[in-house]
């Protein structure tokens, strides 16, 4: 039965498959015998090429965990002119917020009379 199995396989560059896939290929080519699955398993165990190119199992795969990169989005709105400026900051510290305010708000509009915030701790910083 081994010549039938070899004849039903794809070309040598196409690679080998597991015993259940080989048995399915033989069945698709209209061949059948009672111990087809056992013969396919024996063929796979005896095939040197298959043993060297054994497929990658879940055990060999790298975990697909996402890398969490956190950026903080700071949004400034001028309620009179409806001007909106948003920027992604690498951290949520007072120095970053103060640098943003100096660069985008104070240089464009001057010092504001009031700043509305959500009472975050980075606006209670000494540099602010």
Q: How confident is the model at residue 93 (pLDDT cuts 50, 70, 90)?
A: confident
The rounded mean pLDDT for the chain is 76
Note the pTM of the prediction, 2 decimals.
0.41
Closest CA to 69 of 98, 91, 43, 99: 91
Domain segments of the chain: what residues?
2-52, 72-124
**54, 76 contact by CB (below 8 A):** no
**77, 40 contact by CB (below 8 A):** no
Calculate mean pLDDT across residues 33-59. Answer: 75
């Amino acid at each position: 039965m081994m010549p039938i199995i070899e004849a039903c396989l794809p070309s040598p560059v196409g690679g080998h498959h597991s015993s259940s896939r080989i048995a399915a290929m033989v069945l698709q080519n209209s061949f059948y015998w009672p111990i087809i699955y056992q013969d396919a398993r024996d063929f796979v165990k005896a095939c040197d090429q298959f043993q060297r190119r054994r497929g990658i199992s879940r055990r060999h795969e790298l975990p697909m965990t996402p890398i969490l990169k956190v950026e903080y989005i700071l949004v400034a709105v001028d309620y009179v002119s409806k001007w909106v400026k948003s920027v992604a900051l690498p951290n949520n510290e007072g120095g970053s917020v103060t640098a943003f305010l100096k660069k985008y708000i104070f240089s464009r509009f001057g010092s504001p009379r009031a700043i509305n915030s959500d009472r975050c701790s980075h606006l209670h910083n000494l540099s602010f």
